[in-house]
Amino acid sequence: VVSTQSTGVDIPGLPHVRGSGTGEPVQINHQTLTRFLLMVKRGYRDPPYHNWMHAFCVGHFFYSLCKAVDISKYMTDIEVLAMLMACFCHDLDHRGTTNAFQVASRSVLACLYSSEGSVMERHHFAQTFCILNTSGCNIIECLIRRITERVSIISRR
């Protein structure tokens, strides 16, 4: 179960996130999680398909899948958390156009991302990390701290 610190509320169906090597569940601050999700929602435009409702449906499907099967047989805890985050963020700031259109129109996004592969997918990824780097929105910050602490402990041995 991924739990949130300030309320003690658990998100049922998701395993404890133990990928940091400590064996303890990762505590995601409730306010941080709320801010993150609100920023993600705000980051969606309103094209007919690649909008917040679509992202929410994808996230809800994955959550339901986690509840329906023993997801730990197929994915590590870190993969579950990353996948849930990816479900909600996979079309962030989608313009309602294809990668081919972005490249053909020589859009700003194409100029930024076309050399790296799929223009829109790279943009969605970059937008996700912009949100994670926004003050009070970094839901994986606790993982980074724990991994750093764990590496420090191991390297001292």
Q: Are 144 and 129 in contact (CB under 8 A)?
A: no
| Catalytic option among 50, 94, 123, 124 | 50
State the DSSP string of 34-92: HHHHHHHHHH----SSSSHHHHHHHHHHHHHHHHHTTGGGTS-HHHHHHHHHHHHHTTT
From edge to edge, which strands make up the β-sheet containing 27-28? 10-11, 2-4, 27-28
Place of tokens 């309320």: 7
Q: Are 20 and 147 in contact (CB under 8 A)?
A: yes
Query: Which residue type occupies 127?
Result: Q
Helix 77-89 vs helix 52-68: angle between axes, to the nearest 10 degrees?
160
Annotated catalytic, 30?
no
The catalytic site residues sit at 50
